[in-house]
Structure 1
Amino acid sequence: MRAITYSRYGGSDVLELTEQPTPKVGPDSVLVRVKAASVNPVDWKVRAGYLDPLMDTVFPVVPGWDVAGVVERVGLDTPELSVGDEVYGYVRKDWMQGGTFAELVAAPVRTLARKPASLTFEEAAAVPLAGLTAYQSIERTGVRAGQTVLVHAAAGGVGQFAVQIAAARGARVIGTASEKNHEHLRSLGAEPVTYGEGLADRVRALAPGGVDVVLDFGSDDLVATTRAVLAEGGTVASIVEAAARDELGGQYVWVRPSSADLDALSALADEGRLRVDVAQVFDLADAAAAHEASQTGHVRGKVVVRV
């Protein structure tokens, strides 16, 4: 099978299109014929070696954790899925090796769910890691109807999903973003505010009594801002700052694969309450360019690789 691989840590130049053996399929896994995968910031951070202290790496590595495709073969004990099922998932394993930037990937069933019928394969591939990160952050902070939620980096890959999920729950959402993204945030259901100096005052002007939940997907001064805007009894979750837990008594979130949570995202998508923003689509052979596009940090929406 064709796959993108790298045999050492480094920049995008270490990525190459190679021929690899068909992955073996374990008892609780299925073989997925990949239709699309997407790039997340963690992908190029893994490629650069930043996660080496956390996860074992077996070279050559096939990068990528997000996938959408069709089940081609099932394992010995996979009653959840059948050959021909259209699926999507966050295929993170316990070590770095067999990722999703390939024609075929062996995926544990716990990492997959049926693809939302309303989404294309490219759109579905853009959901899992970012969508699950947003959903699990919202679950762990208990966002509910009637609350006011502040979302930092609301126009980013995770933030856009968080805005929509919180709004779907009946929460009022305030989202930080640059002014060029304010109209987009309004279309997703958020009240936009510009980040930077004076942010706490701008949030307080919108919510004089403070906000009930702070969701941090990228902020300049999380601790000070949260202390200035969080209402009594409120809570905070962050995917970038352990201070959310250590100094503010909230949650530090590292996303987990979850079929049940993917099903919840699928329901929102098929109900028309979760839009997916695909910024660019690259062919598999151009995976290096896809990594570079993501790494600029200037892309609104997800970068997808079509296989």
Structure 2
Amino acid sequence: MRRGDLDDLAAFAAVARVCSFTRAAAELGLSPSALSHAIRGLETRLGVRLLARTTRSVAPTPAGDRLLRTINPALEEIARGLAALADWRSEPSGTIRLTTFSYAARTILEPSLPQFLLDHPAISVEVLVDDRLADLVAAGFDAGIRFGEAVEGDMVAVRVGPDLRTVVVGTPDYFARHPRPETPADLEHHNCVSYRLIGGGGLLPWEFARDRRDIRVRAGGQFIVNDGALAASAIRAGAGLGYMLETDVVEDVAAGRLIQVLDDWCPPFPGCHLYFPNRQISPALRALVDTLRWKNSEPRDPAE
């Protein structure tokens, strides 16, 4: 390709798109005469007429139409590539698409994201809150936030929250009517509020561990729900035992509104992590990582 051919092809595509030398020249920042000269030069080099000109209109010839269909995808790809360079300027800019779940949206994003947006006016953030795990690449997300144990091993993961525990709780009124469970197996005899997983449709298992023993219990009861707030309301009303994050019930337990049981069967697990597939990320996503990073945690790099 000769030097200048790409510019002339882009000029031809602009004229063919708007069917006007005057309007195309305005878009390109050229004079109509300079644009006409460039098109004539391109036609001379190619040896074919690309545009049919009359005093009132301009339109591609059959040869021009065929060339336009060939070069348009490439020109559009170049335009997208140039636009994407905005993500790599020294001043972070661009769009971040993020997938997360309701707990992380409430505890990680809600306290930090508004100020992040104020501090970075050139960055746009789109968040999809969904309890189902999404394939970042296939779904077009830049990053996600999930519990650490749910993050695939080939992802770069950065801790954005502390370790957590899931505990079993019930109201004093419930335990006035039922004995306290001593082991996870005792839950078979209790009325448990169960959570239905949105993605697979199964019930969330209640997981316990002690003395190197891992136990998963499919707790059953009168009430099954896929909304955490509704489940919590039923548990606090005494309708059954609940399997809840300790951070969500710590005040209730301290105030005596809920009683925590099976405590020594409930070890901590990795809290929320922000994860992404590439070690080289845009300045915009890097700024978000730096904002959400938990204390002095380092990323988990699958290459290490």
Q: Which has the higher helix share?
A: 2
The structure where strand makes up a greater share of residues is 1
Provide the TM-score with structure 1 as the length reference.
Answer: 0.22
Q: Which has the larger radius of gyration?
A: 2
Please give the TM-score of this superposition, normalised by the length of structure 2.
Answer: 0.22
